[in-house]
């Protein structure tokens, strides 16, 4: 390689490096969203907190498509066109959390959002059934347990059904109402334990 060309290439590379190092980007600004709400005061802070564990779902329900039972309740139909927008366990946890928060926060119990810190007590819910059948009935069956520090304080089974019609939209609406009913049942059942929990 020609020595002049080589020196020119090295000079241009060093000049580029020097100019790049001298450039500064504008300072970064950090912003916080504002709810417009006054901060909580010590007398309005919740007395206890409840965290909701991930909701367990049986394998036959842990699918993208809506599940219906047919032919004597033993054959399953999984829709390829009517699918959940989120995993069923996450959706159930979200709905239960929203229902419980609406019922318990006014009574001094904080329901902790998914992924946040551990609460004073933990609610575990296992869905055993949340599907529809060919006559058009939505069914929910779930087991739940309230625990504190790994020790079970209360547990139970909840089952309910509701006419759903045959459309997927009406099935999902009925399943939503069934989960809301479970959340309301849990709020009523757990409130005495949670109030005395601290």
The whole domain housing 75 covers 46-196
Phi and psi at residue 114, in whole multiples of 5°?
-55, 135
Residue 149 has pLDDT above 70, yes or no: yes
Give φ, ψ of 72 to 5 degrees. Answer: 75, 25
Examine the pLDDT at 28 and tell me if it is beyond 70: no
List residues bridging with 143 in a β-sheet.
126, 157
Q: What is the pLDDT of residues 166-187, one digit of tens each?
A: 888 888 899 999 999 999 999 9
pLDDT of 30 reads 46
Which CATH number covers residue 110? 3.40.50.10610
pLDDT bin (cut points 50, 70, 90) of residue 134 is confident
The mean per-residue pLDDT over the stretch 39-49 comes to: 64
Average pLDDT score, the chain: 83
Helices 168-195 and 88-104 cross at an angle (nearest 10°) of 50
| Domain contains 30 | no
Residue-level pLDDT at 40? 47
For residue 29, is it within any domain? Answer: no
CA distance 129 to 131: 6
DSSP state of 29: -
In a domain, 178, yes or no: yes
Q: Does pLDDT of 99 surpass 70? A: yes
pLDDT band at 118 (very low <50, low <70, confident <90, very high): confident
H or E stretch covering 89: helix 88-104
User: pTM higher than 0.85, yes or no?
Assistant: no
Is residue 123's pLDDT more than 90? yes
**Per-residue model confidence (pLDDT) at position 7:** 72
User: Which residue did the predictor score with more confidence, 188 or 115?
Assistant: 188
| 117 vs 124 pLDDT, higher one | 124
Q: Which pLDDT score is estimated for 146?
A: 95
pLDDT for 131 equals 92
Give the CA angle between residues 177, 113, 102 to the nearest 5°.
45
Say if 89 falls within a structural domain.
Answer: yes
Residue 174 lies in a domain: yes
CA 197 to CA 119: how far, in whole Å?
11
Q: What's the domain count of the chain?
A: 1
């Amino acid at each position: 390689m020609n020595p002049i060309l080589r020196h020119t290439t090295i000079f241009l590379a060093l000049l580029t490096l020097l100019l790049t190092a001298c450039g500064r980007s504008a300072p970064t600004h950090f912003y916080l969203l504002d709810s417009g709400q006054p901060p909580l005061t010590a007398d309005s802070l919740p007395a206890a907190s409840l965290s909701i564990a991930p909701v367990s779902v049986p394998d036959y329900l842990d699918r993208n498509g809506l599940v219906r039972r047919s032919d004597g309740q033993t054959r399953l139909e999984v829709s390829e066109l009517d699918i959940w927008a989120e995993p069923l366990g996450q959706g159930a946890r979200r709905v239960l959390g929203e229902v419980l928060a609406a019922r318990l926060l006014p009574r001094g119990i904080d329901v902790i959002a998914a992924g946040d810190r551990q609460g004073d007590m933990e609610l575990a819910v296992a869905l055993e059934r949340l599907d529809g059948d060919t006559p058009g009935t939505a069914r929910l069956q779930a087991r739940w347990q309230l625990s504190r520090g790994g020790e079970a304080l209360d547990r139970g089974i909840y089952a309910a059904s509701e006419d759903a019609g045959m459309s997927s939209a009406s099935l999902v609406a009925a399943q939503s109402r069934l989960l809301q009913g479970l959340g309301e049942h849990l709020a009523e059942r757990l409130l005495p334990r949670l109030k005395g929990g601290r």
